[in-house]
Structure 1
Amino acid sequence: MTIEKEGKKKNFFSQNKFIFLSLLIFAFIAFYPLPYYITSPGDARVLDPIIRVEGGDKDEGVFMLTTVSVGTANIPQYIWAKLSDYREVIPAEEIRAEDETDEEYNQRQLQMMEDSQHAATVVAFQQAGKKVDIQYHGVYVTGIMSGMPAEKKLKVGDKIIAVDRNPVMETKKLLDVLAPKKAGDPVDLTILRGEKKMNVSLNIEQFPKKYIQDEGPKAGLGITSPVADVSIETDPKVKIDTSQIGGPSAGLMFTLEILDQLTEDDLTHGKKIAGTGTMDLHKNVGPIGGIQQKIVAADEAGAEIFFAPVEGNNYKDAVKAQKDIGSKMKIVPVKTLDDALKYLEKL
């Protein structure tokens, strides 16, 4: 009896050891992070509940923004993405700046979304001939290049308000002031870090070769994607609630929705219209990432028309995806807001 009990006891521990090791291996496979991100089709969100213009006009059709879902990859997700259509594996360095934390990346995306909302509001109000007052309060540091001067002296979230004691409140002004400077030139920045005002002295340095492109500056401080701190006063008032959606790619659709609510005309003509593309203050529509995944999201939401930027092969990629999934959705190329408005007028 004793020998039999001892055998059962050893067998019990042996089985438990196997289960424990299996659980460890499963946990490692399931949760071990890889240096990649997985992007997949997000959703197409109707903008009418997201954007509210005081006393705005209501229409039968809708404008929709489109999103791409982004998440860090583990081993099962990596394999699944490789075997799936319209799921893409992207190296982490192409999503986040070098040494950028997830928190800093998310903050940068949210600031870019806010900047997109401001540009869309200004353009829409100007297009409608309505009053809009713009005030600039400085330029946020949203990204820093590794190994460059800004890395040692600045932090993500710092707000630059002056360069060499001269006020700099807009992104363009900051870039214009720094552009003529050469490697070795000193730069004195006045910044706000929270409520604290500070002076920071740096020297312009040559960019590492991996950052240098054929066109553009060859030296700088290492500040990436600066975003202006802007406040806008409009009449009527506008409220935009995008929750945790980040990035600048909804600029065109924001502009169309605000303009649609500002005017009596039904820009949608009763149709479901999706799209993507950045919007600048000159009404130019800029390229974005993940357009094929946005085509899938828009088609699944029943969109009839999709506005796609011409730049960056966005339009060509959108048409390719539309044909690939057998969608009847009309893909419309746009370079400017006027292109979109002219198309809508013909509906």
Structure 2
Amino acid sequence: MKKRFYFRLILILLVLFLFFVSFYSLPYYVSKPGMAKELEPIIEVENGYEDEEGSFMLTTIRMGKANIYSYLMAHVSKYQEIYPLEAIRSEEETEEEYNVRQLHMMANSKQAAIEVAYKKAGLPTRYDYKGVYVLSIEEDMPAAGKLRPGDRIFKVDGHEFPSSEKFIEYVGGKSVGDKIKLTYIRRGKEGEVTVEVQPFPKEPTRVGVGIGLVDDKELHVEPKVEINTEDIGGPSAGFMFSLEIYNQLTKGDLTKGYEIAGTGTISPDGTVGRIGGIEQKIVAADKAGAEIFFAPNEKGAKDSNYRAAVKTAKDIGTKMKIVPIDQFDDAISYLDGLKEKK
């Protein structure tokens, strides 16, 4: 009987221990290699060319709050990284605000990718301003508890504004104690809230309602294009989006039958920018069978993504070719000169 009792006690304690190490959060984030995802199934240009022999792939990392188990595993795993909380989330930023910021950066990267691809294809683009998008809210300011990250404010006191600058100018011109009415959209439903203008605690000479915001713009193009990224956040897939969109807009197949992965932000002028986790993305691309990997070159900087990618590729023994890219046009030139895969 005693043996059975002690066995059950040890079992219960073991379960409690495993529960503790799995669910107790530490003030760190852990990142690890994610996946390489083919882009043709998630990007659709209306009546576009979809006869790719190979494929373009975005690459991801998996990022999450550390528990005791994941923290210990990251210490002994070569391609897992540990980041202190403040390195990932800005000061006083909540988990909800962080997620909203990541999704907004993804939305911006989509728009920039579409703009770059359509301009390269000689097709017009047009933006419509829809309001301001709430990224964050200061705890001790009037908007706290009334607005949420992700809300789209499109009217102030019944007036619409052509940019976030005009919105800030209007609110900043109010006096302490003045009340303003904000009309917003949250999850498809319209709402209104009245807030009092107050000075910012850290900048008492400046007044506002305590929201961090950016412009919410809608891009219009013909033919239409849809990019279904679900819950993938961040801006690092923008460059690869632009390649897939351009490939569907134009005759011929830029992939030439190769499996092509890559990463990098994309600016409306076609500049390909630095991203985080390049080493982990090389690992993910190699596991997915990529033959070519485009990496941000950063104009040849000593600590560029490209140099880190080359080092990692050598370290893991992959045959994947790493190609340095500074501009969207660099990738197009490379692909135009690529021989068809036999």
TM interval, shorter chain, is 0.7 to 0.9
What is the CA-CA distance between 1:206 and the residue it aligns to? Answer: 7.9
The superposition leaves residues 59-94 of structure 1 with CA deviations (integer Å, 9 ceiling, x where unpaired) of 222111111111222212111111011111112232
CA contact (8 A) 1:40 1:69 kept: yes
The superposition leaves residues 95-118 of structure 1 with CA deviations (integer Å, 9 ceiling, x where unpaired) of 234444434433332232222212
Aligned counterparts of 1:337 and 1:178: Cα–Cα separation in 2: 34
The yes-or-no answer on 1:196 pairing with 2:191 is yes
Q: Which amino acid aligns with 2:313?
A: Q
* TM-score (structure 1 length as normaliser): 0.79
Aligned mate of 2:241, from 233, 249, 254: 254
Q: Which amino acid aligns with 2:307?
A: K
The superposition leaves residues 155-196 of structure 1 with CA deviations (integer Å, 9 ceiling, x where unpaired) of 312334468998545xxx5369869x99x9979795525312
**Structure 1 residues 346, 41: CA separation in 2 closer, same or farther (over 3 Å shift)?**
same
| Superposition map of 1:93-132 within 5 A | 93-132=86-125
Aligned counterparts of 1:310 and 1:19: Cα–Cα separation in 2: 54
**Structure 1 residues 26, 265: CA separation in 2 closer, same or farther (over 3 Å shift)?**
closer
Structure index of larger Rg: 1
- Unaligned 5+ runs, structure 2: none
The yes-or-no answer on 1:314 pairing with 2:305 is yes
**Structure 1 residues 333, 149: CA separation in 2 closer, same or farther (over 3 Å shift)?**
farther
| Superposition map of 1:228-243 within 5 A | 228-243=215-230
CA contact (8 A) 2:197 2:207 kept: no
What is the CA-CA distance between 1:207 and the residue it aligns to? Answer: 5.9
**Structure 1 residues 89, 31: CA separation in 2 closer, same or farther (over 3 Å shift)?**
same
| Superposition map of 1:1-347 within 5 A | 8=1, 12-57=4-49, 58-144=51-137, 154-161=147-154, 167-169=160-162, 173-174=163-164, 190=182, 192=184, 194=186, 195-198=190-193, 200=195, 202=197, 205=200, 223-224=211-212, 226-311=213-298, 313-347=304-338
CA contact (8 A) 1:40 1:87 kept: yes
Aligned counterparts of 1:18 and 1:300: Cα–Cα separation in 2: 40
Once the two structures are aligned, what percentage of the paired residues are identical?
Answer: 48
Aligned counterparts of 2:202 and 2:249: Cα–Cα separation in 1: 45
What is the CA-CA distance between 1:220 and the residue it aligns to? Answer: 9.2
* TM-score (structure 2 length as normaliser): 0.81
**Structure 1 residues 150, 338: CA separation in 2 closer, same or farther (over 3 Å shift)?**
farther
CA contact (8 A) 1:308 1:333 kept: yes
Q: Which amino acid aligns with 2:16?
A: L
Aligned counterparts of 2:164 and 2:229: Cα–Cα separation in 1: 28
Aligned counterparts of 1:313 and 1:144: Cα–Cα separation in 2: 34
Aligned counterparts of 2:313 and 2:160: Cα–Cα separation in 1: 48
What is the CA-CA distance between 1:230 and the residue it aligns to? Answer: 2.9
Aligned counterparts of 2:315 and 2:102: Cα–Cα separation in 1: 30
What is the CA-CA distance between 1:327 and the residue it aligns to? Answer: 2.1
SS in 1 for 2:25: coil
Aligned counterparts of 1:204 and 1:265: Cα–Cα separation in 2: 58
**Structure 1 residues 34, 132: CA separation in 2 closer, same or farther (over 3 Å shift)?**
same
SS in 1 for 2:251: coil
SS in 2 for 1:34: strand
CA contact (8 A) 1:115 1:228 kept: no
Q: Which amino acid aligns with 1:40?
A: K
Aligned counterparts of 2:305 and 2:161: Cα–Cα separation in 1: 34
Aligned counterparts of 1:52 and 1:304: Cα–Cα separation in 2: 24
CA contact (8 A) 2:164 2:214 kept: no
CA contact (8 A) 2:141 2:198 kept: no
What is the CA-CA distance between 1:221 and the residue it aligns to? Answer: 7.9
RMSD of the alignment, in Å?
3.4
Aligned counterparts of 2:196 and 2:251: Cα–Cα separation in 1: 53
What is the CA-CA distance between 1:11 and the residue it aligns to? Answer: 5.2
Q: Which amino acid aligns with 1:196?
A: G
Aligned counterparts of 1:337 and 1:207: Cα–Cα separation in 2: 41
**Structure 1 residues 196, 150: CA separation in 2 closer, same or farther (over 3 Å shift)?**
closer
Aligned counterparts of 2:240 and 2:127: Cα–Cα separation in 1: 21
- Unaligned 5+ runs, structure 1: 1-7, 209-217
CA contact (8 A) 1:149 1:204 kept: no
Q: Which amino acid aligns with 1:341?
A: I
Aligned counterparts of 2:207 and 2:194: Cα–Cα separation in 1: 21
